[in-house]
Amino acid sequence: MEDAVLVLGGAGYIGSHMVKMLAERGRPSCVIDDFSTGWKEALAGSSIEGPIQDPLVVEEALHTSSATAVIHFASRIRVAESVRHPALYYLNNVANTISLLDTVCRRGLKHFIFSSSAATYGEPQRVPIAEDHPTHPLSPYGRTKLIVEQILPDYERAYGLKWVALRYFNAAGAHPDASIGERHDPETHLIPLALRVASGRLQHLSVYGSDYPTADGTCVRDYVHVWDLACAHLLALEYLERGGASRTFNLGNGNGCSVRQVIASVERVTGRRIPVVFDPRRPQDPATLVADASQAKQVLGWKPVYSDLDTIVAHAWAWEQKLAAT
């Protein structure tokens, strides 16, 4: 039997897809989640409820599962919230991760996959963005991700912990069978909000800014399917298990889509018009974020399967229809 994996935040959006993928690949997992933002219904198997910073909770999970590796998704992710409440983000995303790392290293685990973010880059100096691009995060959220990335090499030198940090751009979509998908409360992401308008759960879509220095005046982002993200995490773990060196990888499709293009895709897929209200720009929103993910493809062998925007939207639409019917 394959070695077990401890998945932190496994009831969340990306974490639940990771757990499902591990199960499909025949690899056992153990989930720790405090369910503050995750959903128990997203998990087919059992989980341990509790905070990742509690050594007793982590020790129980490691003892129960005999896990040999950790995939860490458990963090707060809303940029605007991090600006309003930075203490919450430094406590949850940094301090709690340090406590987790201490327990993991004390138990002698050697492989750690960290869910990072393109928010570490800040306003891009060049596009597409490669891993050697300067990191100047614009928000406390982005800074918390970068701080953890800077901590990991110190833990490797001191305790032998091998790691991969995955900086993904805009996670989107849902499982192709619509069994799980994006379900944040409150929801802040463009595609699920546009689809809520299509399903009748929202009256209109708010778009923040129409005067960016882009082709149509709206922000451009790189949307990557959540199932492809889960695949990249598994490939990163297998890379470390083969003896790969610790490093950071970008995850994105390399295709920039503007807010207006996303809305057009939603209208194509759903066959419904999306009423839009334009509001002022949000602070700390770069105009364009597009990934150079060539390193993940070359080194990890990552090959995104669902790179077409309409396919990503179609999978998310099937999930939204399921939610709207409940």
Task: Please give the positions annotated as active site.
Answer: 141
Distance CA 111, CA 52 (A): 17
Q: How far is CA 37 from the centre of its chain?
A: 13
Q: Given the DSSP bridges, would you call strands 256-258 and 220-225 parallel, antiparallel or unpaired?
A: antiparallel
Q: How far is CA 26 from the centre of its chain?
A: 23
State the DSSP H helix or E strand holding residue 14, giving kind and residue range, or none if neither: helix 13-24
Of the candidates 305, 146, 281, the residue with the CA atom closest to the CA atom of residue 218: 281
Of the candidates 150, 81, 104, 107, the residue with the CA atom closest to the CA atom of residue 8: 104
> Residue 64: what residue type?
T
Of the candidates 48, 136, 148, the residue with the CA atom closest to the CA atom of residue 95: 148
**DSSP string across 142-172:** HHHHHHHHHHHHHHHHHH--EEEEEEE-EEE
Q: Given the DSSP bridges, would you call strands 29-33 and 69-72 parallel, antiparallel or unpaired?
A: unpaired
For 225, the 3-state DSSP assignment is strand
93, two tokens: 């995303």
